[in-house]
Homo-oligomer: A and B are copies of this chain.
Amino acid sequence: MKAVIAEIITIGDEILFGHIVDTNSAWMGTELTKIGVRVKQITSISDSAEHIVQALDAARTRADIILMTGGLGPTRDDLTKHVLTAYFHTTLKLHEPSLADVTEIFRHRGREVTELNRQQAFLPEACTPVRNVLGTAPGMWFEQEGKVFVSMPGVPFEMKRMMTDIVLPQLKAYFRTPHIIHKVVQTVGIAESMLADKLEEWEYSLPEHIKLAYLPHLGGVRLRLTGTGTDAALLDQELQAEVNKLAHIIPNNIFAYGEVKLEEAVGQLLKEQGLTIATAESCTGGYLAHKITSVSGSSAYYRGSVIAYHNEVKIRELHVKPETLQLHGAVSEATVREMAEHVREKFGTDIGVATSGIAGPDGGTAEKPVGTIWIAYADKDRTVTRLLHFNKDRLLNIEYTGTAVLNLVRQSLTAAVEE
């Protein structure tokens, strides 16, 4: 079976001038790979009619699928729609459902549709409009000589929603691709190189048609097994058998299977065990609470937080003893322990967690350099603390600390042993 080839064309000066990093294409590359489509080239070009046509002409000589992003805004530097209208020898026509969507978005904001936004509902007659539920620019799907051309907005969340809901399923249906099955295993609390050491033997034993990818991110390492075959049921069984082997090798580092975030996995554990949680944050400054509450339905187990950026707040609101602060400092095991225990009492929850550290880039000392962070977990039986050492980057330190606390809660609720 011949591989289906795609190319991505991003339109707009922002990427060329380096004002934004092209994260869209990486996301699209990942998603296309998942459905068995091979990306051959990514091309970033300027908002120029001539250049867009040149890129389309070149891409169609190599690819079956040409995906475009950008240049669909309402302003006059956005040319994509007009160029495509000419390219496919068609004309613009009002697309009533798109106008209804745009009108609804404006109605929801309590405003009248502007003339510029109304213009966005005029689409090339030759295209199948691709609905945009999150913005005012619809996408466009064209077919010509067995090739598919899709134009989407450059706004990442609009493009991703459109791809996920409509474009990827339609591409899968249009092109007959081999069965490709992915299984994702989510790990936390173990670095990529250590993981690779532990998995080496198993990885070498994988059959030819099953590949392993290490996908490290800020909160851990995702492992993705990709199998290719003609019998979907058999392939799924084979993959599951390998996942089971994996679970025996690193039982304590796997927090979920599939596209589940750590905060979702922890939320699920709390729900299952009927437990509630409260947070007391210093160095993470609300990020931990944000992580927990980013999960829909988190109000079932999350009560609230005290963010104590100032020592006075630690004393008054979290009943940290002034002598603890004086003797050990705000960044200390004693302080973070009291914070976790008292926030649990204060909010009447089963669990209290706390963070206190030096996020940086300033504020470090020889004894407690930037990146020194204490975290604590308290329940009715015990309080567990951990000392973390990170680096000089403020936002990374906040992020890593959030992950470490969530993992500490997970370990406590599953009796997992720390690696």
Enumerate chain A interface residues (CB-CB to B < 8 A).
13-23, 25-33, 38-46, 51, 55, 58, 73-75, 77, 105, 108-110, 114, 116-117, 134, 136, 155, 157, 182, 191-194, 196-197, 212-216, 224, 226, 279, 281, 284-294, 296-299, 302-310, 312-313, 317, 346-348, 360-362, 371, 389, 391, 393-396, 398
Max chain B Cβ within 10 angstroms of own Cβ: one of A110, A116, A361: A116
Which residue of chain B has the shortest Cβ distance to A161 in the bound complex?
B393
Q: How far is the CA of A289 from the CA of B281 in the complex (A)?
A: 10
B303 and A286 contacting across the interface, CB-CB below 8 Å: no
A309 to B288, CA, bound (A): 14
Smallest beta-carbon distance A2→chain B, Å: 16
- A17, A134, A396 — most chain B CB neighbours (10 Å): A17
For A193, the chain B residues whose CB sits under 8 A away are 74-75, 114, 116-117, 136
Instruction: Write the chain B residue with the least CB distance to A118.
Output: B193
Q: Are A224 and B19 in contact (CB under 8 A)?
A: yes
The answer to whether A362 touches B307 (Cβ under 8 A) is no
In the bound complex, do residue B18 and residue A29 qualify as a contact, i.e. CB atoms below 8 Å apart? Answer: yes
Residue of B25, B44, B291, B361 touching A41 (CB-CB under 8 A): B44
Q: Is the CB of A43 within 8 A of B40?
A: no
Q: Which of A155, A193, A292, A395 has the most CB of B within 10 A?
A: A193
Chain A to chain B contacts (Cβ below 8 Å), 12 pairs = A14-B213, A15-B29, A17-B39, A18-B28, A22-B25, A41-B55, A73-B192, A75-B214, A281-B289, A285-B289, A286-B290, A305-B306
Other CB < 8 Å A-B pairs besides A296-B360, A299-B310, 16 of them?
A14-B213, A15-B42, A17-B30, A18-B25, A18-B31, A21-B22, A41-B55, A73-B214, A75-B196, A114-B197, A285-B293, A285-B294, A285-B298, A287-B293, A299-B309, A310-B347
A389 to B305, CA, bound (A): 26
Contact between A74 and B196, CB atoms less than 8 A apart: yes
Is the Cβ of B224 less than 8 Å from the Cβ of A296? no
Q: Is the CB of B309 within 8 A of A293?
A: yes
Alpha-carbon distance between A403 and B67 when the two chains are bound, in angstroms: 32
A56 to B319, CA, bound (A): 62
Chain B residue numbers with a CB within 8 Å of A393 are 134, 157
What CA separation (Å) do A347 and B214 show in the bound complex? 46
- The residue that A296 contacts in the complex, of B194, B289, B292, B394, with Cβ under 8 A, is B394
Partner among B46, B109, B134, B296 whose Cβ is within 8 Å of the Cβ of A389: B109
Contacts of A308 in B (CB 8 A): 304
**By the criterion CB–CB under 8 Å, are A77 and B213 in contact?**
yes
When distances are taken between beta carbons in the complex, the residues of chain B under 8 Å from A281 are 286, 289
Contact of A17 with B33 in the complex, beta carbons under 8 Å = yes
Cβ contact of A286, chosen from B28, B155, B299, B305, cutoff 8 A: B305
| Bound form: Cα–Cα A286–B309 in Å | 13
Report B-chain residues with C-beta under 8 Å of the C-beta of A291.
Answer: 286
Contact B396 A347 (CB under 8 A): no
Please determine whether B293 and A286 come into contact, CB atoms closer than 8 angstroms. yes
Chain B residue numbers with a CB within 8 Å of A216 are 73, 155
Q: Which residues of B contact A44 (CB under 8 A)?
A: 25, 41-43
CB pair A26 B21 closer than 8 Å? yes
Q: Residue A108 contacts which of B194, B286, B371 (CB distance < 8 angstroms)? A: B371
CB-CB < 8 A to A215: which residues of B?
Answer: 14, 19-20
Interface centre among A15, A29, A288, A361 (most CB of B within 10 A): A29
Q: Tell whether, in the assembled complex, residue B307 and residue A289 are in contact, meaning their CB atoms are under 8 Å apart.
A: yes
Question: A43: which of B43, B117, B290, B362 is its contact (CB, 8 Å)?
Answer: B43
Knowing A304-B310, A309-B304 touch, does A39 contact B16 (C-beta < 8 A)?
yes
